[in-house]
Amino acid sequence: MKAARIVKLNEPLQVQELQTPTPKGTQILVKVQSVGVCHSDVHVWEGYYEGIGGQPLKTTDRGVKYPLTPGHEIAGIVEGLGEQVEGFSKNERVLIYPWIGEGLCPACRIGEENLCDKPRSLGIYTDGGYAQYVLVPSYKYLVKIGNDMDTDTSAPLACAGLTSYGAVKNANLKPDDNVVIVGTGGLGLMAIQLAKAITGAKIIAMDIDDQKLDVASKTVETDMQFLRRRARLVLVGLFGGELKLSLVMMPTRAYKIIGSYTGTLSDLIELVSLAERGVIKPVVSNRFKLEQATEALTMLKDGKILGRGVINP
C-alpha cells in the first residue's frame, strides 16, 4: 500500500510503498477513503508545539516517533477483519475513533481513552490515515456511518467535530447561560451548530480578522476579561503560549478554567448520530490526493484552507 509519511521534520512527506497489514484477532483493516488534514498534523510535521515563553514542546519528548504516517480523521470502508471481530462486515462504511489508549490507566478505565497516560492515538503515536489502508487495533473503535453521509464530511467529525462537541459538553451550559465562542473557523462553526442544537444557551460568536494574526495568540487574555462570576472558560486550541492569571479575580469571581482535549468514544457515537440527523455538517473546502499531502499541510499552515481539507488516498 501507499502511505505519505513524515520521515524528516519539516521536509516534504515521502510517499512510500509499505506492506499492507493483515488484521488479526479484534483488528480491522480499513480502506481509507477520506482523511482530514488537521492542525495537529502540522504540529506533528513541524515536531513541536509552542510552550511557555516561546519554548518549544517537542513531539519526540511526548513520545512521537518518526517515520510516521499522520492522519487521525479517518473514514473509509472495512476491507479485512480479524477472526474475533463481531458485528462488522466487509465493505461497510465506517468512521474511526483515533484517540486510542492502552486500556489500563485510570483514564482508560473510565472510558476516557482520549486522556490516556500512554496514548496510542492513530496518526500521532501510531501510523494513521495518510495511506491507502489503516490497521485499527479493535473493531470497538469503529463507528458505522449511514448512507446519507459521505466519508469526506464524516472524517472531520473524529477530531474537529469531537473537539467542538467535547468543549460544548465541558462548558456545561444551562438554558439561561450566554456562551461566547471565540474563533469562527472550522471548530468554532461546529461548536456554534452543536451549542445551538444541544443547549438552550444564547450564543455569541466572535473572531478577529486574519491581518491581526499576531493578536490571535492573545486570544486567551481577551477571554479572561469577559469572564463574569461563575463563568467557565473552556480551552481547546493548541496554538501554544501562556496565560497570566489574577489570583484575586479567579477566587472572587469563582470562575473555572477547563482544558478540553477531543472526546471519548461514546461522545463520537453521539456525534455521528447528531450528524446523521443533520445537526452538524463539517464543511469540506479542499480535496487532495495522497501525493499532495505536503501541499495540503503547507496550505493549512499558511491559513489557505477555509473549511476542512481532506485527502482521498
Grid-cell match 475513533, residue found:
97
User: Phi, psi (5° rounding) for residue 271?
Assistant: -65, -40
Distance of closest approach, residue 248 Cβ to Zn ion, in angstroms: 36
* C-beta closer to Zn ion: residue 51 or 103: 103
Partner residues linked to 49 by β-bridges: 57
* C-beta closer to Zn ion: residue 29 or 300: 300
Q: From the list 32, 38, 78, 275, which residue makes contact with Zn ion (rule: CB under 5 A)?
A: 38
Through-space distance between the first and last CA atoms of the chain, rounded to whole angstroms: 10
Distance of closest approach, residue 284 Cβ to Zn ion, in angstroms: 15
Distance of closest approach, residue 153 Cβ to Zn ion, in angstroms: 16
Distance of closest approach, residue 98 Cβ to Zn ion, in angstroms: 8
> Does the protein bind Zn ion through residue 238 (CB under 5 A)?
no
Number of residues assigned to the chain: 313
Nearest one of 215, 158, 154, 216 to 185, comparing CA atoms = 216
Stretch that binds Zn ion, among 155-163, 203-211, 230-238, 266-274 (CB under 5 A): 155-163
Report the amino acid identity of residue 217: S
The continuous run of DSSP H or E covering 196 comes out as helix 186-198
d(CA 274, CA 4): 32
* C-beta closer to Zn ion: residue 140 or 253: 140
DSSP class of 13: P
* C-beta closer to Zn ion: residue 171 or 187: 187
Site string for Zn ion, 75-104 (x = CB under 5 A): --------------------------xx--
Q: From the list 159, 224, 231, 271, which residue makes contact with Zn ion (rule: CB under 5 A)?
A: 159
* C-beta closer to Zn ion: residue 45 or 199: 45
Contact predicate 154/280, CB 8 Å: no
Distance of CA 138 to the CA centre of its chain: 20
- Residue 148 Rama label (left phi>0; alpha psi -120 to 50; beta): alpha
The neighbour count for residue 231, using CB atoms within 10 Å, is: 18
Instruction: Tell me how many residues contact Zn ion (CB under 5 A).
Output: 8
* C-beta closer to Zn ion: residue 173 or 297: 297
Distance of closest approach, residue 117 Cβ to Zn ion, in angstroms: 5
Stretch that binds Zn ion, among 36-44, 81-89, 241-249, 271-279 (CB under 5 A): 36-44
Query: In the structure grid, which three cell numbers stand for residue 149, read together?
Result: 453521509
Site for Zn ion in 101-140 (CB under 5 A): 101-102, 105, 108, 116
Distance of closest approach, residue 22 Cβ to Zn ion, in angstroms: 26
Report the amino acid identity of residue 32: V
Distance of closest approach, residue 246 Cβ to Zn ion, in angstroms: 32
Query: In the structure grid, which three cell numbers stand for residue 116, read together?
Result: 490516556
Q: Which residues bind Zn ion (CB under 5 A)?
A: 38, 40, 101-102, 105, 108, 116, 159
